[in-house]
């Protein structure tokens, strides 16, 4: 008799874009019967996705309640809860960044363009990390993990907390380490380079886990998952079509700093995940072509079922509609690089921690999940809907 599959949940990074993940999870909660247990024994998160992952894991005993709390958390967001958005805070941080990083003045402390110190206070108030132990003890959770990037080692380090003996792993530029997760791990995993200051864990400073994370799905497999649900934050989820090869009309204008930054953020948070999904699908195809008598698992080619839910609308366009929600100081700070213009809204889509924008992403995520209700029900082993 085949072993029961272990479902892993992959929550990618993306700053404020991670609100979309909450909507997808809320849609999944709507599909589950009342009082249903957590359907994701393995939960893996990176960057802002790490915050969602640990929040879900800490409330895994009561899955529906955890989703409601997570939804309320994101729907109530304001920028000042995540970063200093007042005039003194923005000016002070920008001045420190210029003086220390460009002019070499001041003390050698971690300095970034934005001051994310309010986020530490918010997470300490919001999260009950002891809930992870309780969920593991009562077998509502097998393991939860977050990934951060070590600036000195150059390694993508996955810190995980789980039930029983889960062996650490060592691969090229990515390792897994057992630990007791804390708020500091979440701050490290979500510290976007240059925008937010790195966080010291042990003897090394860490930043956003999406940096050089070449195999975002791999940690879930190391933790025992045999199938994975990936909730992405790409605003362009569709595969290329023949129409994409047609000549395009370009403006011929020089890119703004915000446009350049937006592409760099997309490269960090989206490209490696989409490449990993494509690689996994190719390996699954290869596995199905192999003769049955070969030990596919021993060869590292055991098929892994993967289902992807990604935004059906471009998130930068949604962000552009909500740009006036930004506090005045942040709006002025981002106007120079062009982030408040439609062409530079890619950066804005990662930094717009405001209720209107986050609520629209949550609603989009819910709709996208319900649009895939049949696939999700089949994937999670739920009765088919009429």
CA nearest neighbour of 119 among 92, 85, 147, 144: 85
Quick one: tokens of 100?
């220390």
Q: Hunting for tokens 């108030």 — which residue is that?
A: 125
Task: Give the separation between CA 270 and CA 264, rounded to whole angstroms.
Answer: 10
Where residue 164 falls (left for φ over 0; alpha for ψ -120 to 50; beta otherwise) is left
Clarify whether 208 is annotated catalytic.
yes
Cβ contacts of 280 within 8 Å, gap of 6 or more? 217, 304, 306
Of 12, 47, 218, 234, the active-site residue reads: 47
Handedness of CA 196, 328, 94, 342 (dihedral sign): positive
Nearest to 301 by CA among 292, 310, 313: 292
Phi, psi of 213 (to 5 degrees): -85, 90
Q: How wide is the angle at C-alpha 96 spanned by C-alphas 347 and 124, nearest 5°?
A: 65
Burial of 385 (0-12, 13-18, 19+ CB in 10 A): exposed
Among 79, 189, 208, 234, the one annotated catalytic: 208
Residues marked as catalytic: 47, 208
């Amino acid at each position: 008799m085949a072993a029961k599959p272990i479902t892993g949940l992959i929550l990618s990074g993306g700053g404020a874009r991670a609100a979309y993940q909450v909507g997808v999870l809320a849609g999944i909660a709507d599909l589950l019967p009342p009082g249903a247990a957590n359907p994701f024994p393995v939960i893996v998160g990176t960057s802002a996705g790490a915050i969602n992952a640990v929040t879900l894991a800490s409330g895994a005993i009561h899955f529906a309640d955890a989703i409601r709390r997570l939804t309320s958390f994101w729907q109530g967001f304001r920028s000042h809860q995540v970063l200093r958005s007042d005039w003194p805070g923005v000016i002070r941080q920008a001045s420190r960044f210029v003086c220390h990083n460009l002019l070499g003045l001041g003390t050698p402390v971690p300095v970034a363009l934005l001051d994310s110190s309010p986020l530490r206070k918010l997470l300490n108030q919001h999260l009950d990390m002891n809930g992870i132990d309780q969920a593991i003890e009562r077998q509502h959770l097998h393991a939860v993990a977050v990934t951060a990037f070590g600036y000195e080692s150059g390694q993508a380090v996955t810190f995980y907390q789980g039930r029983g003996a889960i062996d650490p792993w060592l691969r090229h530029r990515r390792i897994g380490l057992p630990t007791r997760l804390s708020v500091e791990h979440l701050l490290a995993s979500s510290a976007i380079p240059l925008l937010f200051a790195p966080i010291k864990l042990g003897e090394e400073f860490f930043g956003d886990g999406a940096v050089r994370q070449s195999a975002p799905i791999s940690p879930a497999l190391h933790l025992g998952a045999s199938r994975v649900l990936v909730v992405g934050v790409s605003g362009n989820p569709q595969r290329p079509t023949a129409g994409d090869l047609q000549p395009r009309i370009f403006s011929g204008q020089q890119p703004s700093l915000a446009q350049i930054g937006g592409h760099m953020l997309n490269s960090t948070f989206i490209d490696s995940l989409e490449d990993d999904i494509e690689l996994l699908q190719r390996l699954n195809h290869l596995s199905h072509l192999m003769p049955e008598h070969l030990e596919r698992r021993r060869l590292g080619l055991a098929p892994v079922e993967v289902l992807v839910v990604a935004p059906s609308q471009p998130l930068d366009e949604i962000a552009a509609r909500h740009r006036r929600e930004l506090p005045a100081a942040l709006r002025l700070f981002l106007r120079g690089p062009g982030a408040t213009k439609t062409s530079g809204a890619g950066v804005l889509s990662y930094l717009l921690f405001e209720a209107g924008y986050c609520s629209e992403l949550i609603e989009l995520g819910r709709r996208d999940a319900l649009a895939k209700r049949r696939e999700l029900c089949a994937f999670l082993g739920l009765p088919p809907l009429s």
